[in-house]
Chains A and B, each alone.
Chain A
Amino acid sequence: MVLLNSSAHQIYWLGRYLMRVQFAASHLPFTQDEEATNFAAAFGLVIENAELLNHYMLDKKQTFSLLNQLVIAKDNIQELRGILSSSAYAELNNVINTLQGQPEILRRAVEKCTQILEAENEDVGLFLYLGQKIEQFDIELRFGQDLSALVSELDVLVQRLGGLDWENIDQNWQVLKHQFTWDAYYTFTQQLENMFEV
């Protein structure tokens, strides 16, 4: 299979969306207003009520809701139809089509999607994992968590990308891995985006 840049891009973003949903779903339902406020604030939202945030996170009308994130993931899957095996596409399609707005079901759906995609082939797995880890970096940076373990994992991925002649990203990666700043993060991810367009 020849993996196109555009397909790799779709897989990368699919990985990001799946990670985003998995992370948020793992926090639902919020029971404390303070916890909800902090969570919302990390994503630039001013929602100071746990019940309200729980509602919004599963409300299709809200662009940031988990269900909407999965709608976007479904679009990514559609775009990948030419490269996914028919069984993988069918399974993914079925998982997404039968989703319900319950955190536990969402978590299981994301896990299932990840398993299906990881089983496809090495290149698909690489870009899926890259998307997941970049999203995780984004999340952990937002919440001020310790990034050292994640940096080690990303180091390996960046080296693998170098094997595809993507070594252009290495310089900005070196900056980011030593400076956990939004500027360094945006510079690196923007360069990654550019690589999909080359």
Chain B
Amino acid sequence: MSEQEHELHTENDFFIQEQTTKALINPTSFLEHISVQTNLFEQLKSQFFNEMLDDVTSNGAASKKIEQWLSIRTLDELKELNAQAKQHFLYHGITFNVYGDKEGTERTIPFDLIPRVIEKKQWEKIASGCAQRVKALNYFLDDIYHGQHILKEQLIPEEQIMGNEAFQPHMLKHSLKGKIYSQISGIDIIRDGEGEFFVLEDNLRTPSGVSYMIESRKISQQLMPELCAANNLQGIEHYPKLLKEILQENSPADLPFIVVLTPGRFNSAFYEHAFLAREMDVPLVTNRDLFVENDQVFVKTIRGRQKVDVIYRRLDDDFLDPLAFRPDSALGVAGLMSAYLQKNVVIANAPGTGVADDKSIYPYVDQMIQYYLGETPILKNVPTYQCRKDEHLDYVLSNLDQLVVKEAQGSGGYGMLIGPQASACEIEEFRKKLIATPHMYIAQPTLALSVAPTLTTAGVAERHIDLRPFVLSSPYRTEIVPGGLTRVAMQAGSLVVNSSQGGGIKDTWVVETLHS
């Protein structure tokens, strides 16, 4: 399984301070006491940045329409609509398996009816910031696998790259069309207490969640068609078509044959793999469908072998090819890397791409943007302390109870210390680890994630959210469908947006008319 496939369901949303979110509406008197005039959302004001209330750059037109739409419905009616959404997900099998769940129960991801609204101008900043970031990251990957100028100029310590477990020596001197290593990127974005956008994490391996983004829109349009129509939403439904075009453009072949490579139906993101294959009208394959002969990759079809030109892989590097990587991989295709290095097949994203989204590399992305593009970063990084640096380590050790500490090469929220939530014992345990192996850790301040109105069993309440836009890159263009996956911590007081722990999703509306 891919780390980032897993990450959708075990997110590292631990930047938020543990504060109880505000209870909002009396569930039994939703209509009696709340009306458009009394400002339903206004009652949600709290210490957190509320995306529907606190954005001074917005005139709130879309928020008002949503508020009005909510206010003329009873809580029971809204709950019924949410129940219909759940039924839609169940009926269509839009479910996931939770790893370690002994029951093996398929779960639906909770969907919140109330959309998250992003003004077009804000979106343009997010989109241009994500595009800038991915462009720089692709240049960085090309550089470290070729001239290594950024290392020679000591902007990034060489040992952090060469010693990184995601660095793939196979990729050295291997050139890619248009220097595109990450064709599909997911950039995790949060807003802080002031509403400022920050990049929390780059996902360049196999970012998942785009199918939920599209399904959220479908269900929104089913359940509140008039509200969708009234807000002139920017479309996202063309994502699979764009993805197919982008994959084609990364291939030297004129009419490349594309497949989606999945680890199989037990993978938690299998629904998404099947969704994308079906929507692109390309085969969904496992390793047993593929074979390599004379450095060419073929897929077995009922009409004979078919040469494969592009593999959109949804499994980690380690499992791609037992001859090149883990010899015990039962998911890979023997000889695939050889075919790849002969440029007979495109693997998207490229092997070795993960080195660019490593947490120890993340602090350098701003410098990469300046170094490769000569530009100022549009989106900010969360300030990050690199414990390998003495002065940073000193600060971290002195402020452990205030910081989030992560393993530099960890993922999925494992191996972390959330200072404000940790016991004295846990803090001391981490202190010892940091002193023993400081290079293995980074630390960041705890941030208060923004909140958005969310329908709960007790009425509308504020819940923390984040955003994952998906960036598609080819040698000829960068495409980002307007929106992304908004994840929401559905549980009262919960700070975790991961779906395996009750986290849910919202439709993300990029609207043109918010700004007056």
Contacts and interface: CB of A to CB of B under 8 A. Distances in A.
Interface of A: 1-8, 75, 78-79, 81-86, 89-90, 93-94, 123, 127, 164-166, 197-198
A94 B281 contact: no
Contacts of B271: 81
Given A81-B274, A82-B283, A93-B93, A2 B306 contact: yes
The 8 A-B residue pairs with the shortest CB-CB distance in the complex, in nearest-first order? A82-B284, A81-B274, A82-B277, A5-B300, A82-B274, A93-B93, A90-B92, A78-B265
Interface string B230-262: 000000000000000000000000000000101
Interface stretch (B285-293, B464-472, B478-486, B496-504): B285-293
Contacts, number: 73
A86 B276 CA distance: 11
A174 to B, nearest CB: 22
Contact of A165 (B260, B270, B303): B303
Contacts of A166: 302
Given A5-B300, A5-B302, A83 B278 contact: yes
Nearest to A90: B92
A123 B92 CA distance: 23
19 contacts: A2-B299, A2-B301, A3-B301, A3-B302, A4-B300, A4-B301, A6-B288, A6-B300, A79-B265, A81-B271, A81-B274, A81-B278, A82-B262, A82-B278, A86-B92, A86-B278, A93-B93, A165-B303, A165-B304
Contact of B91 (A3, A85, A90): A90
Nearest to A93: B93
Given A81-B274, A82-B284, A4 B91 contact: no
Nearest to A127: B302
A161 B501 CA distance: 49
B303 A164 contact: yes
A93 B91 contact: yes
Contacts of B285: 4, 6
B278 A85 contact: yes
B191 interface: no
A89 B91 CA distance: 9
B278 A198 contact: no
A5 B301 contact: yes
A79 B289 CA distance: 13
Contacts of A164: 302-303
Contacts of A123: 302
Nearest to B262: A82
A164 B265 CA distance: 28
B273 interface: yes
B241 to A, nearest CB: 16
B221 to A, nearest CB: 15
A54 B93 CA distance: 32
Contact of A82 (B91, B93, B273, B302): B273
A94 B283 CA distance: 24
A81 B275 CA distance: 8
A124 to B, nearest CB: 11
B283 A4 contact: yes
Nearest to B279: A86
